Amino acid sequence: MTTLIRGGLVIGPVSAQHLDVLIDGERIVALLAPGDTSLAADLASSVEEVIDATGKYVVPGGVDAHTHMELPFGGTFASDTFETGTRAAAHGGTTTIVDFAVQRAGERVQDGLAAWHEKARGNCAIDYAFHQIIGGVDEESLKAMDELVSEGITSFKLFMAYPGVFYSDDGQILRAMQTAAGNGSMIMMHAENGTAIDVLVAQALARGETSPRYHGLTRPWETEEEATHRAIMLARITGAPLYIVHMSAKQAVETLAAARGEGWNVFGETCPQYLYLSLEEQLSAPGFEGAKWVCSTPLRARQEGHQDELWRYLRTGDLSVVSTDHCPFCFKEQKELGVGDFSKIPNGIGSVEHRMDLLYQGVVDGRISLTRWVEICCTTPARMFGLHPKKGEIVPGADADVVIYDPQARTHISVETHHMNMDHSAWEGYEIAGGVDTVLSRGRVIVQKGDYLGSAGHGQFLRRGLSSYLT
């Protein structure tokens, strides 16, 4: 099957050009400028399918490097399966996810990874890869890290938060970082001072401060900045590359930026919720409503200016990637586990369907450029996690994962119309001045004008290489 996407403005991480995209089977084979007379242009004149993209943007399929399908958390499981979550992602123009396989203390890492393969295999609408959570750093799991790298799992998440669940102490972190430094993999860090937070949480609950707002107030920015700084110092000692996930505090990013300025291999990720939502407006909603926005790190105070600063750091490049940290829980029965005790609210927000749209709105609002949109949502996550040039950029040889994005469309986000398995939307009522028109995954049209044409099992597991950023 040959396909030509004709007449659109092709957006890459550095330029936007009027080009036609020629696809043969699952791959992009050529980009044709108007008037091209090459052999590829001959082929383009006899393609089986032409998609007219006149007046639209042609962008690489989104790469969401941080999702949690079916994550066990707080006595329940994230409500999207790989089937529902990847279908929702496809609707929103995301064609690759990197999800987190889980190992807890006392379990074998290989068993955790095998369980994730089992959940995903045959169920995904789009291609997928895994990071590995190491929840119990010991001799066995350190050895497993080396083994996993050869299986295409080239990044490992550690937690400075959640004592008794996923938490690692500084000695364990140091050991895991030494291992990563040795095998070329990336350490991803949940940077919050979990033992200090647990004391603040217990004290708040003892005072009768039980509503969702206190989730934010017991995880002040200092706990994120302190952990970020500590993680950077440990990474410096070991030489391991470090990627700090879900950053929300401007002070933490300032610390990261200073280390980057000194030349260290440290990288930052933020998420749409930290760019748009706040402690005052969402987390402090009346009654128990704020539970919809309980996630960690927490939403920060707008009056402290975190949101504007995160947008600024996306422009300077000190924040490299926007992922969703998609971790959906229904309000009924899941978020409600924390009625009367905010610490029992499962942590997470579902956004896998909306990342491309929400960040495109940043283009409309003049906060980032079109090329920066593509860079932070597609190209950099692919490069960061060893998926480039197969994913993340429209270039000859790449997988034909392509989104035709219509700047004339309007997207209205609502639980009534979203495809995620959630009974509410953290983004209810958000309006985007643009929208996804057509989505191709490896040459196949999987979404067209809102209709799903894909299938569970189309998505393939991606063995990742080492990060392109480790110089």
Which residues form the interface with Zn ion (CB under 5 A)? 190, 325, 412
Query: Among residues 56, 131, 190, 442, which is the contact residue for ligand URP, using CB under 6 A?
Result: 190
Smallest distance from ligand URP to CB 102, Å: 10
Smallest distance from ligand URP to CB 279, Å: 15
User: Among all residues, whose Cβ is closest to ligand URP?
Assistant: 347
* Pair type for strands 49-52 and 186-190: unpaired
Give yes or no for residue 356 binding ligand URP (CB under 6 A).
no
Report residue 61 as tokens: 């399929």
Smallest distance from ligand URP to CB 129, Å: 17
Instruction: Choose the one of Zn ion, ligand URP, none that binds residue 412, judging by a C-beta under 5 to 8 angstroms depending on kind.
Output: Zn ion
Tell me the residue type at 196. A
Task: Kindly state the greatest CA–CA separation across the chain.
Answer: 75
Give yes or no for residue 246 binding ligand URP (CB under 6 A).
yes
**CB neighbours of residue 65 within 10 Å:** 27
Give yes or no for residue 347 binding ligand URP (CB under 6 A).
yes
Kindly give the interhelix angle for 109-120 and 139-149, rounded to the nearest 10 degrees.
Answer: 50
Burial of 35 from C-beta contacts in 10 A (0-12 / 13-18 / 19+) = exposed
Which residues inside 64-123 make contact with ligand URP, applying CB under 6 A? Answer: 68
Residues composing the chain: 471
Give yes or no for residue 325 binding ligand URP (CB under 6 A).
yes
* H/E run at residue 314: helix 306-316
Size of the site for ligand URP (CB under 6 A): 9
The CA distances from residue 190 to 10, 32, 270, 420, 454, in Å, are: 35, 43, 12, 25, 34
Instruction: Choose the one of Zn ion, ligand URP, none that binds residue 348, judging by a C-beta under 5 to 8 angstroms depending on kind.
Output: ligand URP
Closer by beta carbon to Zn ion, 196 or else 395: 196
Instruction: Choose the one of ligand URP, Zn ion, none that binds residue 213, judging by a C-beta under 5 to 8 angstroms depending on kind.
Output: none
Give yes or no for residue 295 binding ligand URP (CB under 6 A).
yes
Smallest distance from Zn ion to CB 128, Å: 15
Give yes or no for residue 348 binding ligand URP (CB under 6 A).
yes
The CA distances from residue 382 to 13, 108, 126, 372, 427, in Å, are: 12, 28, 15, 14, 26
Query: Among residues 95, 155, 223, 296, which is the contact residue for ligand URP, using CB under 6 A?
Result: 296
Closer by beta carbon to ligand URP, 74 or else 93: 74
DSSP assigned state of 388:
T
Contact between 441 and 127 under an 8 Å Cβ cutoff? The reply is yes
Query: Among residues 189, 314, 327, 440, which is the contact residue for ligand URP, using CB under 6 A?
Result: 327
What is the rounded distance in angstroms from the CA atom of residue 176 to the CA atom of residue 181? 9
- β-sheet bridge partners, residue 98: 129
Where along the sequence are the contacts to ligand URP (CB under 6 A)? 68, 190, 246, 295-296, 325, 327, 347-348
